[in-house]
A and B are shown apart, each in its own frame.
Chain A
Amino acid sequence: MEENNTYNKTNGIPAVVRTNAALLWSKVLTFFKDIAAKLSSNAKLLKSLKITFVTFVTILSLFAIFMFVFYAVPALQEIPSPGKTQITSSKELKENPEYKKTITALTRENQRLAKKYDSYTSGQSYIVINTTDNRFYLYRNRKLVREGFCSSGSYTMLKTEGERKWIFKTPKGKYRIQGKISSPVWRKPDWAFVEEGLPIPPADHPSRYEYGVLGDYALSIGDGYLIHGTIYKRFLGMPVTHGCVRLNDEDLEAVYNTLSIGSKVYIF
């Protein structure tokens, strides 16, 4: 039988394909040999190629060291496990009277602690003021009854050429309503004059009293800080005040009617 080379297969590869691959490979080899011959004859090119290679390897090594030190080592630190406790739930243990006693005591203790923690939240009315988002939340009987925008301290530091300076920020923490005033009159402090470039008048000078700018009500939280109304309603939701908390007329009325003297004010 005549042998057909074209279809003679070794390892499933036709002979013609093998021949073509060998031809291609020899061409590739020749191509690289030519390049190598040209390079060896061109010392300048060879040198610059070497420099490029060394630079590349150096950069790659530095990058590898960087990744190893800053990322791989911290990741490796999380691999070892320092003796994990095997959590079980054995039946034998559950029958142990001492165990039962301990569990009962712990459960009671947790109930007592939970009750104690729960008692910190007053059943009476209180207000929460978020000075970053400039929002307020009014609670009564532990339920949110009203929320809305407010304006709080602007975080401005007013400085004079002399030594005087004021920082306009709303204090944070727990406060209490110390006083409730209707139709409040603003007694302008020194900074109100300094801010406008006006001379500071004597303590009881009539120019210190301004009517109608604080809205219908004001609630004092101490140290001169008030929760009051505003004529600058377009600024509600923004940090623009000198430290007081401004509310719109409706919200102010609701807050005034809900909170009493001694009610808690939480500012954060």
Chain B
Amino acid sequence: MSRGLVVTVLIVTAFLIYYAIMSIMAPGKKFKELENEIRSGLTTTSQIDERFINDSLYIGLLREKAFLQSRILMAGTDSISLTLNLADSLAQLEIAGVVVKTTDIEGIRMSKMLHQGNDFIITSLLSSPLNITGDRATIKKEPLMVKMAPKDTSEYKPDIMPDTSAYEAVSYILETDKGIRIYVTQSEKAKKGYGKELAWFDLKYRLGNSWEALKSAAQLKVPEYHPFIKIKLPRTDAKVIYRAIPTKGQITVYI
């Protein structure tokens, strides 16, 4: 084996190990940032007695309060918002505080940070709605069709019955201002031929994330970490929620 090849293999291996170490450090860094942000935002009157924050009853009540506060804040707008009650496995669409659609969450996975992190920090983080900053999806938000107006009556064709039988595999990612990403995927197995579409969507997103992380690592920076919540919903409900929620909508999460 040539010496050049050995050196290349060694360099690549060393970089991959370095990249892995930097990436593993990312969640801890993100958590520290959140902790500093939340602790600096606490007023002296809202300081918490350290003895209490380890108490299950106290934390349970704080979580409930955070959830209600966040929902009330969302209700203040007349916009459509999403509530993810992970404790009861429910996803709900709400308009001005009125639940207009409820669906069962059929699968939940989330970052260890969110369910194993300091409960007080996570509760504080979720005490106000997450604002959607961007989204990606396998389906269109608004399935707009362009129709050119006929020049005269001879060109006019009456509308035929729309074809609503077309199958669409549903998966989307909602990015929020607090860095938390919500991944929604259909719970049913995709129809034959559509599984590839879902896999490609997932791969494209991983590719983008890994590229950003590799760039950060190359610049000797700890990559940005995005805590995630991955949920599975029935396909039709997942589609309804994606189409209903505005591009700059809000989400409340109860863990």
The reply to whether the CB of B26 lies closer than 8 angstroms to some CB of chain A is: yes
| CB <8 Å contact, B57 and A89 | yes
Q: Residues of A with Cβ closer than 8 Å to B?
A: 65, 68-74, 76-90, 93, 96, 98-99, 102-103, 106-107, 109-110, 113-114, 116-117, 120-122, 126, 128, 130-133, 137, 154-161, 167, 169, 172-174, 194-198, 234-235, 238-240, 264, 266, 268
Please pick, from A106, A133, A264, the residue contacting B58 in the complex, using a CB distance under 8 A.
A106
Return the 10 tightest CB-CB contacts between A and B, nearest first. Answer: A120-B97, A197-B150, A113-B68, A268-B244, A82-B31, A106-B61, A174-B78, A197-B156, A132-B240, A160-B149
Q: Which of B75, B78, B113, B151 contacts A173 (CB 8 A)?
A: B78
B52 at the interface (CB under 8 A from A): yes
Number of A-B contacts (CB under 8 A): 211
CB within 8 A of A172: which of B80, B96, B150, B155? B80
Does B6 have its Cβ within 8 Å of any Cβ on chain A? no
- 26 A-B pairs with CB atoms under 8 Å apart are A65-B12, A73-B19, A77-B24, A79-B112, A82-B31, A82-B117, A83-B118, A84-B118, A86-B54, A87-B56, A87-B119, A102-B52, A102-B58, A106-B61, A113-B68, A120-B75, A132-B240, A158-B149, A169-B142, A172-B80, A174-B95, A195-B156, A197-B151, A235-B161, A240-B161, A240-B162
Interface size on B, residues (CB 8 A): 82
- Chain A interface secondary structure, helix, strand, loop or mixed? mixed
Interface residues of B (CB under 8 A from A): 12, 16, 19-20, 23-24, 26-28, 31-32, 49, 51-59, 61-62, 64-65, 68-69, 71-72, 75, 78-80, 93, 95-101, 111-113, 116-120, 142-156, 159, 161-162, 164, 203, 206-207, 209-210, 213-214, 225, 236, 239-240, 243-244, 246
Given A174-B95, A197-B155: A73 touches B20 (CB 8 Å cut-off) = yes
Interface contacts beyond A74-B23, A196-B156: sample of 8 additional A-B pairs, CB < 8 Å, sorted by A: A69-B16, A77-B225, A83-B118, A84-B118, A130-B100, A130-B101, A239-B162, A264-B98
Contact between A159 and B65 (Cβ–Cβ < 8 Å)? no
B161 pairs with A156, CB closer than 8 A: no
Please, how many angstroms separate the alpha-carbon atoms of A89 and B52 in the complex? 10
Partner of A70, one of B16, B51, B69, B206: B206
In the assembled complex, the Cα of A161 lies from the Cα of B156 at a distance in Å of 15
How distant is the Cα of A41 from the Cα of B194 in the complex, in angstroms?
52
Contact A90 B55 (CB under 8 A): yes
> Is A195 a contact of B149 with CB atoms below 8 Å?
yes
Q: Are B59 and A87 in contact (CB under 8 A)?
A: yes
Q: Which residues of B contact A74 (CB under 8 A)?
A: 23, 206, 209
Q: How far is the CA of A114 from the CA of B145 in the complex (A)?
A: 43
Contact across chains for B62 and A106 when beta carbons are under 8 A apart: yes
Q: Does A155 contact B75, Cβ atoms closer than 8 Å?
A: no
